[in-house]
Amino acid sequence: MAEERKVDSNNKNEQLEQFRVNDQGQKMTTNQGLKVSEDEFSLKAGERGPTLMEDFHFREKMTHFDHERIPERVVHARGFAAHGEFQVYDSMKEYTKAKFLQDPSVKTPVFVRFSTVAGSRGSAETVRDVRGFATKFYTEEGNYDLVGNNIPVFFIQDAIKFPDLIHAVKPEPHNEMPQAASAHDTFWDFVANNQESAHMIMWHLSDRAIPRSFRMMEGFGVHTFRFVNDQGKAHFVKFHWKPVLGVHSLVWDEAQKISGKDPDFLRRDLWESIEMGNFPEYELGVQLLAEEDEFNFDFDILDPTKIWPEEDIPVKIIGKMTLNRNVDNVFAETEQVAFHPGHVVPGIDFSNDPLLQGRLFSYTDTQLIRLGGPNFHELPINRPVCPFHNNQRDGYGRQTINVGQVSYHKNSLAGNAPAPATEAEGGYVHYQEKVEGRKIRSRSESFKDHFSQAALFWNSMSQVEKEHIIQAFSFELGKVKSLSVRQEIVDMFAHVNVELAAAFAVQIGATPPKEGGSSVTKTSPALSQENTIKMPNTRKVGVIIGHEFNGAEVMSILAGIQAEGVQPEIVSDMLGAVKGSDGTELAVDHTFLTADPVLFDALYIIGGASESKKFHNDTIYFIKEAFSHFKPIGATHEGVKYLEVSGIVGSAGVVQGEDINEFLSTFVEAISAHRHWERQVV
Ligand code: HDD
C-alpha cells in the first residue's frame, strides 16, 4: 500500500482491487496452488470402494465448506450494502477540524450497510422494524463510522438494557417464534415495563418502520455527538441523512405480502437502482448547538429518546453522499464489514449519552466473536485508506508482516517509532470536558419525561398517518396473548394521547382509558411524511399489456413516462414478446405469475384486443390490489374497460385519457404523489 496516497473516490476501490480474484479462464487449483485434475470423484480404493484419507483435495474442499459460516450479527443480521462517495458542500472549519468536512473538492469513499434489526440473516426485508443505516467514511485521517438508524430516537436510555431489549424483541426462546417481528408478548411486556420506550414505539408503529426503499428513508446518528474545531471550541451535533427522493413507505398489508412475494425486496431495489445508474443520494445534515446552550431545553440533550425538533434547531445541510457501486462479493464486503460508533476522526467526539457510552464497548466486542479474532481491521473492507502503525501484533489470521525487532513503546532501539502524534500532527485529542460526580447507578431526573415527545410525534402526524399508527397498535397487540400486557400498553399510551389509546383498546379487547393525555400541543411538521419530497423518479410501473395494442401510442406513452424517470416493466400472460397491431414488439419482463401488484408503485393498464378470460381476471386482481394500496393506476385504450369493471373510474389517482399528452402529465403527477389516501376517506 502506498504510504501517502491522496484520498479520492477511487482510493478505496484501488485498495480493494488488490484483493479481488477473478477465476475467469483459470485452471482449478487447491489452496496451495496445485492444479487439480478431477473435481467430481473422490479418491477411492476401487470404483465401488471407500474414500481414501489420502484425498487431500476432498479433505480441503470439505473442510473449507464445513467452516464457511460465521455467526450472524446478534442484531442487524439481515443487511445489504453499497459503495459510494461523500462530498461536503462548504468547509465546516468553523465547527469541526475533521478533514473530510473541509474541502468541497475532496470525494471521500464510503461504504454503507442498511439492515433490519430483529430478523435473522435470511429473514424477509419488509417487516415492521427499525432500519440500520451505517456509513463508513474512509478518510485520510482514518475510518469514521456513523452507525445510525432510520429512526432518530431509541427504545432505551442506558446501554445496560440493550441485551434485555433484544432478548424481548427476538423470537421467544422456548419456541423461536415469531421471526423478524415485534408483534409478540415478550416485546410488548418489555415496552410496558420500560416506559422510556414510548417515543420510539410511536416511530416504530408509524410508516417509518416499513420503508418503500433504502433509497427513500432518512438516517440519523441518534446520539448527541460533538464537533470540535481547530481552536478547541466544541458544539453539540446531531447527524441526519436526508434522501433526495424523499421519505416514502409501504402500507402494512402490502409489506406483509411482499415478505412472501419477494423477501429480498429492499436489497433488490438497491442493487437494481445502482446497476441501472439510478444512484441513491442522501444529503448530510447537522443540527448544531453551542455548548453554552446545553440546558436551554425542556428535554435533556443527552437523552437518546429525544429529538431536537428541526423547527427549533434547524438542520444545516452540509454535503451529499452518492452510492454508485454495488459490492463484488456480499460475504467479503457486506458481511465482514465491521462498524463501530467509536471509530472517530479528529474534530468528532462523543457526548455523555449513556446509550452511546455503552455502544463504545459493544461493537469491537461483537466483532471479536463474529469475525474470529482481533485482526478484523485487516480485512479488505475494513482497512483504512491511510497507513496504520502501532505495536499490536499477532492473533488469528494476522496478515500484516510487521518488520523489525521492536514492538513496544517507548523504545530507543527503533527511534521510539511508531510514536504518538501531537495534536498539530493530527493526533486525536479527546475533548477536555470537565466531569465530576459520585459513582452511582441511577438516572438523571432530566431523563424522566417519557411522554412529551411521544405526544409531539403524535400531534405532528397527518390523519392518515395517525390511522396507520392505530392500525399498527391494533395489529401488534392483537398478536399479544396476555390481556394484562395489552391493558398495560393501553394505560401507558393513554399518557401520550387518550384518543389513540382508546382507538386501539377497543380493537384488542382492553378497557379504553377514561382520562390521561399529554399537555403537549406543539407539532413538528418535519416529522410527517406528508410533507416530504414527492417526485416520479425511479418509480416502478407495471405495464399490463396483451397483443394487438396500439403500437405508436403505447411507445410514445412509455417513452414519455421514462423521460420523467419512471421505470416501466412489462407484464403479460406469457414471457416472450407482445405484438402491437402495427407490428411493434415489446419484450415481456414478468408474467402474472412471476410479478405481483405489490411489487410495483403504480400500474398502467393497456390490455390488448384479444385477451383470454385468465388475462382478464389477472388484470382485475392487479387493479384491485394496487387500488387497495392507494397506488396510481393509469389506463388507455382497451385498458379503460378494466377500470370500469373494477368500479374505480373517477377515484383519486385513477387516470384515463384519450389525449396522450394530457394523460401523460396527469399520470406522472399521480405517480409522483405516490399514494392516494383520499380513497380511504370516500
Ligand atoms: Fe447497535 C449493530 C445502530 C444501539 C450493539 N447497531 C448495529 C448496526 C447498526 C446499529 C446500524 C449494524 C451495523 C452493520 O451494518 O454492520 N445501535 C444502532 C443505533 C443504536 C444502537 C442507531 C442506538 C442509537 N447497539 C446499540 C446498543 C448496543 C448496540 C445500545 C449495545 C450496547 N449494535 C450493537 C452490536 C452490533 C450492532 C451488538 C451487532 C453487530 C455489530 O454490532 O457489528 O455491537
Give the CATH number, domain containing residue 101.
Answer: 2.40.180.10
pLDDT for 681 equals 45
pLDDT for 658 equals 83
Per-residue pLDDT for 5 more than 80? no
Per-residue pLDDT for 115 more than 70? yes
Pocket test for ligand 1, best of 154, 339, 356 (most atoms within 8 A of CB): 339
Mean predicted confidence (pLDDT) in 646-663: 94
Nearest residue (by CA) to ligand 1, atom 40, is 73
Mark whether 519 and 543 lie in a shared domain. no
Q: Decide: 237 and 316 in contact? Cβ < 8 Å.
A: no
Per-residue pLDDT for 9 more than 60? no
Per-residue pLDDT for 3 more than 80? no
Domain endpoint, select from 501, 530, 559: 530
Q: How confident is the model at residue 7 (pLDDT cuts 50, 70, 90)?
A: very low
Report the alpha-carbon distance of residue 304 to residue 223 in Å, rounded: 6
359 is in an annotated binding site: yes
393 is in an annotated binding site: no
Mark whether 478 and 545 lie in a shared domain. no
Tell whether ligand 1 has an atom less than 6 A from the beta carbon of residue 452.
Answer: no
Report the alpha-carbon distance of residue 498 to residue 517 in Å, rounded: 5
Report the alpha-carbon distance of residue 673 to residue 535 in Å, rounded: 7
Tell whether ligand 1 has an atom less than 6 A from the beta carbon of residue 366.
Answer: yes
pLDDT for 2 equals 37
Mark whether 339 and 236 lie in a shared domain. yes
Tell whether ligand 1 has an atom less than 6 A from the beta carbon of residue 115.
Answer: yes
Task: Give percent of the chain with pLDDT exceeding 90.
Answer: 96
Mark whether 606 and 594 lie in a shared domain. yes
pLDDT for 611 equals 77
73 is in an annotated binding site: yes
Tell whether ligand 1 has an atom less than 6 A from the beta carbon of residue 130.
Answer: no
Mark whether 613 and 519 lie in a shared domain. no
Write out the residue range of the structural domain in which residue 612 sits.
Answer: 534-681
Within a domain: 69: no
Tell whether ligand 1 has an atom less than 6 A from the beta carbon of residue 240.
Answer: no
Please tell me the distance between residue 332's alpha carbon and the centre of ligand 1 in angstroms: 20
Mark whether 351 and 472 lie in a shared domain. no
Per-residue pLDDT for 361 more than 60? yes
Mean predicted confidence (pLDDT) in 395-407: 97
Mark whether 567 and 587 lie in a shared domain. yes
Residues with catalytic function: 76, 149
Q: How confident is the model at residue 657 (pLDDT cuts 50, 70, 90)?
A: confident
Mean predicted confidence (pLDDT) in 175-192: 98
Domain endpoint, select from 530, 564, 586: 530
Within a domain: 406: no
Which one, of 279, 320, 267, lies nearest residue 131 by Cα? 267
State pLDDT tens for residues 535-594. 999 999 999 999 999 999 999 999 999 999 999 999 999 999 999 999 999 999 999 999
Report the alpha-carbon distance of residue 215 to residue 322 in Å, rounded: 10
- What does the angle CA 119 – CA 279 – CA 260 come to, to the nearest 5 degrees? 30
Mark whether 521 and 571 lie in a shared domain. no
Within a domain: 67: no
Long-range contacts of 645-654 (CB under 8 A, 24+ apart): 645/620, 646/620, 648/623, 651/627, 651/676, 651/679, 651/682, 652/676, 652/677, 652/678, 652/679, 652/682, 653/678, 653/679, 654/627
Which one, of 538, 536, 563, 547, lies nearest residue 632 by Cα? 536
Mark whether 493 and 540 lie in a shared domain. no
Nearest residue (by CA) to ligand 1, atom 20, is 148
pLDDT for 613 equals 92
Within a domain: 41: no
Looking at residue 5, what DSSP letter applies?
Answer: P
Q: Decide: 392 and 402 in contact? Cβ < 8 Å.
A: no
pLDDT for 8 equals 46
Tell whether ligand 1 has an atom less than 6 A from the beta carbon of residue 118.
Answer: no
State pLDDT tens for residues 407-459. 999 999 999 999 999 999 999 999 999 999 999 999 999 999 999 999 999 99
Mark whether 460 and 604 lie in a shared domain. no
Ligand 1 atom closest to the Cα of residue 220 is: 22
Number of domains comprising the chain: 3
Q: Decide: 585 and 554 in contact? Cβ < 8 Å.
A: no
Domain endpoint, select from 318, 346, 378: 378
Pocket test for ligand 1, best of 362, 370, 376 (most atoms within 8 A of CB): 362
Using the structure block, give the residue that is written with the C-alpha cell 471521500. 108
208 is in an annotated binding site: no
Per-residue pLDDT for 474 more than 90? yes
162 is in an annotated binding site: yes
CATH number, residue 560: 3.40.50.880
pTM of the model: 0.97
Within a domain: 415: no
Mark whether 460 and 548 lie in a shared domain. no
Average pLDDT score, the chain: 96
